[in-house]
Amino acid sequence: MRLMRSQLGMFFVALFLIARHSPSPHASASTKGRFGDDPVKAVERPLIYDTLDPANRDIIAQLDKFYATQVRAGFNGSVLVGYKGKVIYERYFGYSNREMRIPLTFNSSCQLASISKTFTGGAILYLNERKQLNIDDPVQTYIKEFPYQGITLRMLLNHRSGLPDYTKWVPVYNKESRTPITNEEMVRLMVKHKPRIEAKPDKRFKYCNTNFAILARVIEVVSGMSYADFMSKHIFQPLGMTNTFVYQPGHGLVGNAAISYKYNWVREPDMFADGVTGDKGIYSTVQDMFRWDQSLYNNTLLSNETIELAYGPCSFEKKGIKNYGLGWRMLCYPNGNKVIYHNGWWHGNNTSFYRLIKDNMTIVVLGNRFNKSIYRQAPVVFSIVKGVEVGSGFDEDE
């Protein structure tokens, strides 16, 4: 009997300890780590190549000839061309680290600059699709102290918020211009000084880095994770983007990441804006960018409905084919064709990411030495692959 009482006592103590350490079923939805703290193993997603077809071999020869002229003109970077879901061209020209003579290779991550906005926008839409947020909510729903009324997450996504660019007004109030600040600190400065807005909300399109820096902060508030951790766990790892990461100045560059150079091979130093993410700050490779591209065709992370929402043009104040969706630039032609793209420029990194939806063609160019000619390469690459005259356009009918 005494043994039985002892066993019963131990049983109730165990129950008490389990109850004490179990999470409450009524835990707040805003609790840190709400998306789980379990590690996510990167999914292996090998790329498919088609470089032996006679037609593709001719294309490769022409592209090699074109890029030989680009290299002679100073191009230092990586290139990948995908066509109908397969890689038909992939090359690495120059150095990841010139001082140490380390060449660019398949795992040389490069600063994407503003191409990072496509990922931030995708992450917001990922949360919207899972009803963790609503893009038509005002920013104050997630950042209580946000000092401007009438601005929604959608207006941040499509650059119709009217907010001023933090890269211009932060130095006015923050004299430590070489010390990186965080998104949270940027918002704190905005709350304290409330810099003047440039337009009323939803009045007109004005490209602004502040929009996506705030969206990154919203991701942190909603998920209870840092932007870097959220992107790694919920975007990069599931897509097998093993050489993609968010740069954090205090941690330094990861792995074989490429150094950022000015045109004369002088390194670009960090400054205050390097600690702010969402508008820039993601490092990736051309291979990983193709994985991101293909995930959008295959609805790996986002539904087709959400992707079509992102591709919808949002601004019509000016006539012409250029427009902006939710995190994407686009060319909208009268015949219905669309080119979805984004370019980037930060600290000597010039980057270009073109997605010709009709053709399932992808052109990725990542350069880590300042060279504006990168932005003129996509039309030439398209003309070579499609066998059309340069300038005949991405709107070519078939």
Q: Residue 175's pLDDT is what? A: 77
Closest CA to 347 of 284, 219, 247, 261: 261
Q: How far from chain centre, in Å, is Cα 220? A: 15
CB-neighbour burial class of residue 210 (10 A; exposed 0-12, middle 13-18, buried 19+): buried
Residue 184 scores a pLDDT above 70: yes
Which residues are bridge partners to 90 per DSSP? 80
> pLDDT value at position 23?
33
Q: Indicate the burial class of 347 (C-beta count within 10 angstroms; 0-12, 13-18, 19 or more).
A: buried
The span from the first CA to the last CA of the chain, in angstroms, equals 89
- Spatial neighbors of 268 by CB under 8 A, at least 6 apart, are 260, 261, 262, 347, 348
pLDDT at 393: 59
pLDDT digits (tens, 9 = 90+) for 1-26: 444 444 444 444 343 333 333 333 33
More confident residue, 392 or 56: 56
Token duo for residue 344? 């980037």
pLDDT value of position 37: 55
Q: What is the pLDDT of residue 43?
A: 77
The reported pLDDT for the residue numbered 375 is 97
Mean pLDDT of 143-166: 98
Q: Where are the alpha helices (DSSP H) in the chain?
A: 2-21, 54-72, 116-129, 153-157, 166-173, 183-193, 209-223, 227-231, 286-298, 304-310, 377-386
For the segment 292-303, the average pLDDT, to the nearest whole number, is 97
In which region does residue 89 sit, left (phi positive, over 0), alpha (psi from -120 to 50) or beta (all else)? Answer: beta
By the 8 A CB rule, do 148 and 208 touch? no
Per-chain mean pLDDT for the chain: 90
Q: In the structure encoding, which two tokens stand for residue 337, read together?
A: 């064709």
Residue whose structure tokens are 């065709």: 297
d(C-alpha 43, C-alpha 338), whole Å:
30
Tens-place pLDDT, residues 328-343: 999 999 888 899 999 9
Dihedral angle, C-alpha 96, 101, 107, 113, nearest 10 °: 0
| Distance, CA of 367 to CA of 269 (rounded, Å) | 17
DSSP state of 345: E
Band the pLDDT of 110: cuts 50, 70, 90. very high
The pLDDT value given to residue 312 = 96
Segment 248-263 shows an average pLDDT of 93
Render 190-207 in DSSP notation, one character per residue: HHHH-PPPSS-TTSS---
Q: 170 falls in which pLDDT band (50, 70, 90)?
A: very high
The residues near 130 (Cβ < 8 Å, ≥ 6 apart) are: none
| pLDDT for 224 beyond 60 | yes
The CATH number for 54-386, chosen from 3.40.710.10, 3.40.50.920, 1.20.140.10, 3.10.180.10, is 3.40.710.10
Mean pLDDT (whole number) for 121-148? 98
Mean pLDDT of 90-102: 98
Distance between CA atoms of 175 and 314, rounded to whole angstroms? Answer: 37
The residue written with tokens 């250029």 in the block is: 322
Quick count: other Cβ atoms within 10 Å of Cβ 202? Answer: 17
3-class DSSP state of 172? helix
Between the alpha carbon of residue 31 and those of residues 34, 36, 224, 266, 387, the distances in Å are 6, 10, 7, 45, 55
Which residue shows structure tokens 């330094």? Answer: 252
